[in-house]
């Protein structure tokens, strides 16, 4: 059995996350779940939002997938229950998992929209505390804690990075490009406090496609599956933006993961970036940092099931490849991860198999090996 560490899974938050933690004055307008008789809703401030069946398709046959909202009881328990999730992961051979939030959106961008910024701030902290105290505590060897931040205030966000690093977080989730959210881009110095805090604490930055609220698309009326097919375009937009921004020049030790984009397009992208860098740097004042060298220094790609990507692994860099399960979303191959992993890695030597499925992630997130931990106890 392969040992698998997934750098991209998704928590469906149970209704108690904020209700249990926000002060009494926010009980009515803090995030909570209501049932109107026909379905369940998340309610906060003056808004209500549904959840989508696509967010929780794990264990369902393809024929039953749909975009309809669901009740918690329509999902398998592992979507929202960390103890059950741990069992689901164990049966699939997954020994470590980085989980993105759902209601807060991938990097907590939901709280940008909150009118009451004190509530927003407390809601960010409530999620992070719940994550450590309940989600991760349910299986502390399995869950690699990932924090969200206050995206409307880089100083507050930097303080939260430090607070959560002290609480054991290994990474934060952040928009792959903030501009589509109406926030300053990575070509400004606006985000320096956050990046500085990450560099100081060693926290990794996980960039999931779509966190910016923008997915590559040819037209507003394009069917949703077109946007899903274009994941590599979405990931590459964030990646090239980051590679060519001042961020990696000012904070050379930062480590970033681009989730759910796959790998197979990265060699062609880096070849092109290097070629354009050769041709344009003299007139446009680019520095001496070759894009492919920056990639190898600061960036990781991730895959679920990517034959071309693993064939090209030496061009990507075997040390820069991570695996993801995407449980319980549409990309996930759960509970068949072992079978798929063995198929896509059939031509890899054993040391490379260990790296791409677990060791690279262990090193990146400074995450003790479960096996080692047992050995140490014995």
Select the span of 18-26, 128-136, 146-154, 300-308 touching a second copy (CB under 8 A): 300-308
268-287 residues in contact with a second copy (CB under 8 A) are: 268-269, 271-273, 275-277, 279-280, 282-284, 286
217 lines the binding site for a second copy (CB under 8 A): yes
**DSSP output for 328-363:** TSTT--TT-HHHHHHHHTTTS-HHHHHIIIIIHHHH
Residue closer to a second copy (CB basis): 46 or 63: 63
Q: How far apart are CA 21 and CA 8, in angstroms?
A: 26
User: What letter would DSSP give residue 93?
Assistant: T
Q: How far apart are CA 150 and CA 377, in angstroms?
A: 39
226 lines the binding site for a second copy (CB under 8 A): yes
314 lines the binding site for a second copy (CB under 8 A): no
As to burial, measured by CB atoms within 10 angstroms (0-12 exposed, 13-18 middle, 19+ buried), residue 175 is buried
**DSSP output for 152-207:** T-HHHHHHHHHHHHHTT--EEE--S-SGGGTS--TTSSTTHHHHHHHHHHT-EEEE
At 94, give phi and psi (nearest 5°).
Answer: -90, 120
8 A C-beta contact, residue 125 and residue 169: no
309 lines the binding site for a second copy (CB under 8 A): yes
Residue closer to a second copy (CB basis): 33 or 316: 316
At 297, give phi and psi (nearest 5°).
Answer: -90, -35
Residue closer to a second copy (CB basis): 128 or 337: 337
317 lines the binding site for a second copy (CB under 8 A): no
34, 91, 137, 308: which one contacts a second copy (CB under 8 A)? 308
Select the span of 64-72, 75-83, 139-147, 354-362 touching a second copy (CB under 8 A): 64-72
How many residues sit in the footprint of a second copy (CB under 8 A)? 65
Q: How far apart are CA 280 and CA 321, in angstroms?
A: 29
Handedness of CA 122, 12, 154, 185 (dihedral sign): negative
Residue closer to a second copy (CB basis): 225 or 376: 225
173-192 residues in contact with a second copy (CB under 8 A) are: 176-179, 185-188
Order of all β-strands in the sheet with 47-49:
32-35, 40-44, 47-49
265 lines the binding site for a second copy (CB under 8 A): yes
63 lines the binding site for a second copy (CB under 8 A): yes
288 lines the binding site for a second copy (CB under 8 A): no
Q: How far apart are CA 32 and CA 17, in angstroms?
A: 8
218, 252, 349, 368: which one contacts a second copy (CB under 8 A)? 218
91 lines the binding site for a second copy (CB under 8 A): no
Residue closer to a second copy (CB basis): 148 or 230: 230
8 A C-beta contact, residue 151 and residue 345: no
For binding to a second copy (CB under 8 A), which residues are involved? 62-66, 176-179, 185-188, 216-226, 228-233, 236-238, 240-242, 244, 262-265, 267-269, 271-273, 275-277, 279-280, 282-284, 286, 291, 305-309, 312, 315, 330
């Amino acid at each position: 059995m392969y040992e698998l560490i997934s750098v991209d899974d998704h928590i469906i938050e149970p209704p108690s996350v904020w209700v249990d933690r926000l002060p009494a004055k926010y009980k009515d307008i803090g995030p909570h779940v209501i049932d109107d008789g026909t379905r369940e809703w998340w309610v906060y401030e003056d808004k209500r939002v549904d959840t989508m069946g696509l967010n929780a398709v794990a264990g369902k046959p393809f024929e039953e997938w749909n975009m309809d909202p669901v009740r918690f009881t329509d999902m398998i328990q592992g979507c929202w229950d960390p103890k059950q999730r741990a069992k689901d992961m164990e049966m699939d051979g997954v020994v470590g998992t980085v989980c993105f939030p759902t209601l807060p959106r991938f990097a907590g961008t939901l709280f940008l929209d909150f009118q009451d910024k004190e509530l927003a701030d407390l809601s960010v902290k409530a999620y992070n505390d719940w994550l450590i105290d309940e989600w991760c505590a349910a299986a502390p060897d399995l869950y690699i804690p990932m924090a969200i931040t206050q995206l409307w205030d880089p100083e507050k966000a930097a303080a939260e990075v430090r607070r959560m690093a002290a609480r054991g977080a290994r990474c934060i989730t952040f928009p792959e490009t903030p501009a589509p959210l109406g926030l300053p881009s990575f070509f400004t110095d606006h985000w320096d406090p956050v990046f500085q805090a990450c560099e100081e604490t060693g926290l990794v930055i996980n960039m999931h496609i779509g966190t910016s609220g923008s997915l590559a698309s040819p037209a507003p009326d394009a069917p949703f599956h077109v946007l899903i097919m274009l994941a590599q375009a979405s990931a590459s937009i964030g990646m090239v933006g980051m590679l060519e921004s001042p961020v990696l020049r000012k904070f050379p030790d930062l480590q970033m993961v681009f989730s759910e984009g796959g790998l197979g397009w990265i060699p062609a992208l880096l070849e092109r970036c290097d070629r354009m860098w050769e041709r344009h740097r003299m007139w446009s004042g680019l520095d001496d940092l070759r894009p492919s060298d920056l990639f190898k220094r600061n960036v990781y790609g991730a895959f679920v099931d990517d034959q071309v990507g693993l064939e090209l692994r030496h061009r990507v860099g075997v040390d820069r490849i991570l695996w993801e399960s995407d449980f319980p979303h549409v990309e996930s191959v759960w509970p068949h991860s072992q079978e798929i992993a063995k198929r896509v890695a059939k031509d890899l030597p054993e040391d490379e198999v260990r790296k791409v499925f677990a060791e690279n992630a262990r090193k990146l997130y400074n995450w003790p090996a479960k096996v080692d931990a047992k050995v140490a106890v014995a």
